[in-house]
Structure formats: structure tokens, C-alpha cells
Amino acid sequence: MFNLILFGPPGSGKGTQAKLMEEKFGFLHISTGDLFRSEIGNETPLGLMAMEHMKKGELVPDEITIGMLQNKVNEYPEVSGIIFDGFPRTIAQAESLDKFLSEKEMSISLLISLEVEDGEIERRILKRGETSGRPDDNDVSIIRNRINVYRAETSPVFDFYAEQNKSVSINGIGSIDDIFSAISEEIKTHS
């Protein structure tokens, strides 16, 4: 099974590229945002626990997020691969994910980071905000904060997997097809 972490700042095109990978490779796309919405909407035990933290403005603890991920992975044992989108965001989460996969005799095959300049990210998210209905997509100060949090807290995960020779960077600026072609080549190279 090919397990891929799709990495990059908000607005780097992860969701768009993940959909293309689902179609071409038959991978399961797990977006933590979608996972949270589903678990909370279905009022699962983990969803209810997550909601309690979110109501207080707290981050959802890693063990709840990992639990949701485990449930989703276990639901689809027949997939040829998994795209982890939006997770892991910290070294601790990466270690938890590796431990979980190891227990299933699997591992992360590759981390692909979509590299996009901050100015371009702002433009993309503001554009997305015209139709997304998300208030955080329309506020430049919130967008900049999301980018800063990503750079400070999440980018070290790239180095964590680079130490295992599993991280690659791809230029996330260009046509969707060109970026997807570069991603596909990396998947083929590391399969």
C-alpha cells in the first residue's frame, strides 16, 4: 500500500491534487477537515469529544484526531493507498501516525510538499473565499496567521520525513496538470 502525506500551506492546492490522485491511483483521500466535519456531524463519540474542545476554542487533542484517522483507515482495507491531507501537523502527530501504521505493518511511503510563495497563497485563498463561504478565507490577517502557524509548527514535519529520505518538494505554482504530472512522477519513482 502506498501511503502519501500531501503537504503544503493552506491554499497550496492539496485538495485539488488529492482529487486527481484519487481518480488516477485509486487512493483514499483523508482530509482531516472533512474527517472532523463528518465525525461531528454524525455525532460519533470522537466527534462529540472533538466538539467539546472546539467549543472552548481549544485544539483537538492528538489522540482524538488519530482515533478518527484510525477509524477511517480501518474502514477501507482494500484501497491501494492513502493520501493524508492536513495531517500530520506536528512531529508528535507524525510519530503517532508512524506508530499506528507500523502496527498495521505499513509506513509512510512519501511526503510531497507543494511549495507556493506566501503572496500567491493569499491570492488563492482570497479567490477561494469568494465562493467557499468560509469567513477565514476572506480575512487577510487570518490568512497570514494560518501561513505563519504552518511555517512555525507544521513545516518541521517535512524535515522529520526527510531524515527518512521520504520528503520531496514540488513547485505548486503552474497549471494543475503540470503540478499533477510532477506528483505522478514522484509517486512512480517511490512506488
Tell me the per-residue pLDDT of 19-71, one tens digit each, with 9 for 90 and over: 999 999 999 999 988 898 899 999 999 999 998 888 877 778 889 999 999 99
3-state secondary structure of 83: strand
Domain range holding 63? 2-116+155-190
Q: Please indicate, yes or no, if residue 142 is contained in any of the structural domains.
A: no
Q: What 3-state class would DSSP assign to 28?
A: strand
Q: 115: helix, coil or strand?
A: strand
Please name the residue ranges forming H helices in the chain: 14-25, 32-41, 45-55, 62-75, 91-103, 118-132, 140-149, 156-162, 176-190
pTM of the model: 0.89
Structural domain contains residue 150 = no
H/E element, 110: strand 110-115
Please state the domain count of the chain: 1
Question: What is the CATH classification number for the domain harbouring 16?
Answer: 3.40.50.300
